[in-house]
């Protein structure tokens, strides 16, 4: 009887890879830094093996703990062996139960898990598959997201603050905050562990706080682009009062997509520090971004946004400055929207312990890994991986099987 041929590799997966030569086992090494919160008594599955199963299931599109459990049950004996699942007494390898995974995710150390995942994704040389590279000057957006479905009885929904690279979109750090108004208190602890020297940090008006901006520039040696609104009243009045009508447009860009047409124009003005500057620390340039949006069947909308930056005219062109601002707004579509649409994060009712944050961290891990591998459509890619558990094992560098893409 002729040997069975392996199933054809879906086109969406064939474009991914190749793996970096040092990538095999790298995720496992990082996950080993997460402390095991369980009692030693009765512990059958090592923590890193359970986390690898979760990572494989989520990159296959699993949205809930139930779907993670089902992925493990579908996995072949070979896949379970590659993941390090040892044999039970009857001699069979058995995936963990729903109860095992639920209890684990509820008691995990969220800070440690996010730190391990962020460090793994931050290693810039560990994958560069689809020709995607970090920009010469790394750009990082700080933005928050509510986990709407995590509210339960008298318990409010969870809120997470993240540091996400502009391109490719990769979450480097994440912290849980009590509510949206507490995001500013988590800003410095979020960015403290990151190497920000020479990077550009973008954030909205909520985080345009003078002490935090000074800390970024003076201690972290980073640059910033800060949106200026009413929470900085003096600076807001100053930047709006500048003679913008006398300043020519330095950069324009337009595009169409998703049933709408958008155009953006950028004006820049240097700040005369020797004449007193403006009431915002380390500011070197002021930006005026004017946006026009025309959706099909609707009236045109216009919006003008003002921002300040520590970059000067020699360090960034108007086109680059406009790209940084647009890149910050793009995080909503490239990260938060994907988590909600592909992984149904807002619909998730997980609320016990650290489980909501742990699931969000696993989604960040899957999205970041696929982006770094060159995936441009996360939904299609996860569907292609879902049908063959062996593909998920390859994605994480657990195996370098020649039957899989990119090897």
pLDDT above 80 (res 10): no
Torsion of the alpha carbons at 304, 306, 311 and 316, rounded to the nearest 10: 10
Mean pLDDT of 5-13: 68
Lowest-confidence region among 23-27, 159-163, 197-201:
23-27
Instruction: With beta carbons less than 8 A apart as the criterion, state whether 82 and 56 touch.
Output: no
pLDDT tens per residue, range 355-379: 999 999 999 999 999 999 989 899 9
Spatial separation of the C-alpha atoms in residues 407 and 404, rounded to whole Å: 7
Higher confidence at residue 179 or residue 217? Answer: 217
Per-residue model confidence (pLDDT) at position 154:
74
Here the tokens at position 285 are: 């340039």
Mean pLDDT of 293-315: 91
pLDDT above 60 (res 275): no
Higher confidence at residue 182 or residue 192? Answer: 192
Lowest-confidence region among 17-21, 296-300, 320-324, 376-380:
17-21
SS3 270: strand
Higher confidence at residue 276 or residue 103? Answer: 103
Taking Cα atoms as reference points, which of 215, 210, 171, 225 lies closest to residue 189? 215
pLDDT above 90 (res 342): yes
pLDDT category, 184, cuts 50, 70, 90?
Answer: confident
**Phi, psi (5° rounding) for residue 159?**
-135, 130
pLDDT category, 273, cuts 50, 70, 90?
Answer: confident
Q: Give the rounded percent of residues in the chain with a pLDDT score beyond 70.
A: 88
Q: At what angle do helices 98-107 and 355-372 cross, to 10 degrees?
A: 100
Residues 6+ apart with CB under 8 A from 199: 137, 138, 139, 140, 222, 223
Spatial separation of the C-alpha atoms in residues 204 and 183, rounded to whole Å: 11
Cis peptide bond upstream of 87, omega within 30: no
pLDDT above 60 (res 129): no
SS3 11: helix
Here the tokens at position 19 are: 């793996």
Higher confidence at residue 11 or residue 161? Answer: 161
Mean pLDDT of 313-341: 91
Taking Cα atoms as reference points, which of 350, 376, 373, 396 lies closest to residue 157? 350
pLDDT above 50 (res 3): no
pLDDT above 90 (res 287): yes
Spatial separation of the C-alpha atoms in residues 34 and 120, rounded to whole Å: 12
Residue reference for tokens 């009885």:
153
Per-residue model confidence (pLDDT) at position 131:
41
Here the tokens at position 162 are: 């993240």
Q: What pTM was computed for the model? A: 0.88
The mean pLDDT of the chain is 86
pLDDT category, 333, cuts 50, 70, 90?
Answer: confident
Number of residues that make up the chain = 407
Q: How far apart are the first and last CA of the chain?
A: 28
Spatial separation of the C-alpha atoms in residues 162 and 142, rounded to whole Å: 6
Spatial separation of the C-alpha atoms in residues 317 and 313, rounded to whole Å: 6
């Amino acid at each position: 009887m002729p040997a069975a041929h392996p199933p054809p590799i879906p086109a969406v997966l064939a474009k991914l890879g190749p793996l970096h030569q040092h990538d095999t086992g790298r995720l496992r090494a990082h996950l080993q830094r997460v402390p095991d919160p369980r009692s030693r008594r009765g512990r059958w599955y090592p923590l890193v093996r359970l986390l690898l199963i979760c990572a494989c299931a989520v990159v296959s599109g699993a949205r809930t703990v139930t779907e993670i459990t089902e992925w493990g049950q579908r996995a072949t004996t070979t896949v379970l062996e590659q993941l390090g699942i040892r044999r039970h007494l009857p001699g069979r390898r058995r995936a963990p139960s729903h109860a095992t995974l639920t209890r684990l995710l509820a008691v995990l150390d969220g800070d440690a898990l996010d730190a391990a995942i962020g460090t793994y994704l931050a290693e810039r040389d560990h994958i560069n598959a689809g020709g995607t590279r970090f920009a010469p000057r790394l750009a990082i957006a700080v933005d928050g997201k509510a986990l709407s479905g995590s509210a339960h009885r008298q318990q409010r929904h969870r809120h997470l603050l993240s540091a996400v690279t502009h391109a490719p979109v990769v979450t480097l750090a994440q912290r849980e905050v009590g509510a949206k108004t507490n995001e500013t208190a988590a800003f410095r602890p979020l960015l403290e562990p990151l190497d920000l020297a020479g990077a550009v940090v973008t954030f909205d008006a909520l985080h345009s706080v003078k002490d935090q901006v000074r800390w970024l520039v003076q201690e972290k040696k980073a640059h910033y682009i800060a949106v200026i609104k009413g929470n900085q009243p003096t600076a807001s009045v100053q930047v709006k009062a500048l003679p913008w009508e006398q300043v020519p447009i330095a950069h324009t860009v337009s595009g169409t997509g998703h049933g709408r047409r958008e155009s953006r124009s950028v004006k820049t003005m240097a700040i005369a520090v020797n004449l007193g500057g403006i009431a915002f620390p380390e500011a070197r340039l002021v930006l005026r971004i004017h946006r026009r949006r025309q959706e099909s069947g609707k009236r045109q909308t216009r919006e003008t946004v003002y921002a300040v930056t520590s970059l000067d005219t020699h360090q960034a062109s108007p086109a680059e400055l406009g790209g940084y601002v647009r890149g910050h707004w793009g995080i909503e579509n490239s990260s938060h929207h994907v988590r909600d649409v592909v992984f149904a994060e807002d619909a998730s009712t997980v609320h016990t312990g650290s489980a909501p944050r742990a699931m969000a961290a696993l989604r960040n891990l899957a999205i970041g890994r696929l982006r770094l591998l060159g995936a441009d459509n996360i939904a299609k890619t996860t569907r292609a991986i879902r049908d063959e558990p062996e593909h998920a094992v390859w994605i994480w560098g657990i195996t370098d099987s020649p039957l899989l893409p990119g090897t």
